[in-house]
Amino acid sequence: MAIKTPDWVKHAVFYQIFPDRFARTTRTDLLPEMKVPFESWESAPTVHGYKGGDLWGVAENLDYLKDLGITAIYFTPIFQSASNHRYHTHDYYKVDPLLGGNEAFAHMLKAAHDRGLKVVLDGVFNHSSRGFFFFNDLLENGDKSPWLDWFRVKDWPLNAYDDSKPTNYDCWWNLPALPQFNHDNAQTREYIMRVGEYWVEQGIDGWRLDVPEEVKTEGFWVEFRDRIKAINPEAYIVGEIWVDASEWLQGDQFDGVMNYLFTGPAIAFAAQETADQMLADTVAYATYPALDAKSYAEKVDKLLSLYDWEIQQTQLNLISSHDVVRALSMVGDDVASMSLATLLLMTFPGAPSIYYGDEVGINGKRDPDCRKGFPKEEKWNQQIYKVHKDLIALRSSHEALRIGKYQTLAAEGNCYVFSRMLDKEMVVVAVNAGDAAVQVRLADMAMKNGEVLYGDGKVEWLGDRTAMLEIPARAGMILGTT
């Protein structure tokens, strides 16, 4: 069958927001459940503490995102939950009161759409929480609960809180706080489908699906896609799959996945010896040892051969997320490495996703350190901010950088050069991850001339569609026509 993915995603630049840490509202007319004490915004984040970011605050900062060049927002979970990350869902129809509830979400959604920003929510449909009403009924009523078949119980009474005893019901990673749904149960399945439909009907532009490979029920995600697309054919469905996702990317389930297969090679090539080996050992994607240009080219070629081109254009590319070490920490707080990784991110096929604060230089190790409060402007790294803003603007002004075909042009030492080609437009991207300036000769180009659009490199045209690029050490450049 012909694969069809949402066209808007191919041109999007996403911004991932962890709601508790992005912005507190300046409003004073808040409901009492929001007027509660929080951790200091500037203090180090803790596993269980709240800093009080909310959706009113997001709405107040949409102009910042618009000015940065963002076109879509991906929110980590926003539904009622007894956790700051909200992956422990209590109610799938209620936005968490600390975030402002359903009223704040409706306001934020309208404000985002008024600015041309899409909104994608996090769907945690593999598991719920001990506080989820239907599971809570099992805790209260045991095997007399009418929702018994919504979960898989092995023994009674349920052990939901005593860590000294084994968990006797199916839960995600054996964490008793996260009871898994029984997706084989028709009522459970229908409930989740209706949750997905409801929020699309409210106007969201798609779902990011948490750990979807854990759902083993045959046809579950096929039905989910069919029902979501019946409401909005352009809704984006993206799964959190960290490995080869071919099984889910045949056109009948997801439009894309969080592209960690890009993340590892991009950081390993850009960082070189600045990569933090100790941090690299803590993540599930390879950012160490360093890759030379040839090795990076091989990784890229393999990745681009995995999926149909229609799917490649709607992958969600990233170098940071709430689940992993911040990119800046992963590259040893080296600004040049961060800039090179961002250049690769913004020029790769698919939709780039910026984890909130990466653009202003937030660093952070594993959770909870990677979930710091967004800093005040006087603490921004202006160099990193400028890199992000310039590259986003360039991507937005050159369609070839968004949907143009990808071709490696040169891979020598630590210098990698590739092109994005669309019709008669050609853009050339060169990344020198090495410690010395290099020259690269490109012959038989599809362009007769061009100029440096980004970076401090130089180009000399030698005639016959041949260009000599000069790229400074630890730097990148983009060549094209204005």
Q: Domain of 412: which CATH number?
A: 2.60.40.1180
In a domain, 458, yes or no: yes
- In the set 96, 240, 292, 359, the catalytic residue is 240
Whether residue 323 sits in one domain with residue 199: yes
Whether residue 425 sits in one domain with residue 288: no
The answer, yes or no, to whether residue 282 has pLDDT greater than 70, is no
Whether residue 459 sits in one domain with residue 383: no
DSSP characters over 2-48: -----HHHHT--EEEE-HHHH---------GGGSS----TTSPP-SS
Residue 339: CATH number of its domain: 3.20.20.80
In a domain, 47, yes or no: yes
In a domain, 378, yes or no: yes
pTM of structure: 0.97
Whether residue 65 sits in one domain with residue 45: yes
Give percent of the chain with pLDDT exceeding 70. 99
For residue 122, what are the CA distances in angstroms to 207, 222, 311, 455, 480? 6, 18, 20, 36, 37
pLDDT in tens, 414-453: 999 999 999 989 999 999 999 999 999 999 888 888 999 9
Q: Containing domain of residue 460, as a range?
A: 404-480
- In the set 54, 205, 210, 390, the catalytic residue is 210
**Is residue 210 flagged as an active site residue?**
yes
* Total tally of structural domains belonging to the chain: 2
> Residue 114's CB: how many other CB atoms inside 10 A?
9
Whether residue 475 sits in one domain with residue 329: no
Last residue of a domain, one of 400, 418, 445: 400
pLDDT value, residue 422: 96
pLDDT in tens, 230-246: 999 999 999 999 999 99
Mean pLDDT of 128-142: 97
Average pLDDT across the chain, whole number:
96
The answer, yes or no, to whether residue 463 has pLDDT greater than 90, is no
Whether residue 365 sits in one domain with residue 412: no
Whether residue 395 sits in one domain with residue 300: yes
pLDDT value, residue 360: 98
Whether residue 250 sits in one domain with residue 208: yes
pLDDT in tens, 57-68: 999 999 999 999
Whether residue 421 sits in one domain with residue 330: no
The answer, yes or no, to whether residue 276 has pLDDT greater than 90, is no
Whether residue 229 sits in one domain with residue 313: yes
- Detail the DSSP E strand segments found in 37-185: 72-75, 79-81, 89-95, 118-123
In a domain, 347, yes or no: yes
User: Which two three-digit tokens encode residue 7?
Assistant: 């066209």
3-class DSSP state of 179? strand
Determine the Cα–Cα distance for residues 398 and 174; give it in Å rounded to an integer: 47
pLDDT value, residue 211: 98
Last residue of a domain, one of 334, 365, 400: 400
In a domain, 1, yes or no: no
pLDDT value, residue 283: 66
Whether residue 89 sits in one domain with residue 125: yes
Whether residue 457 sits in one domain with residue 340: no
The answer, yes or no, to whether residue 281 has pLDDT greater than 80, is no
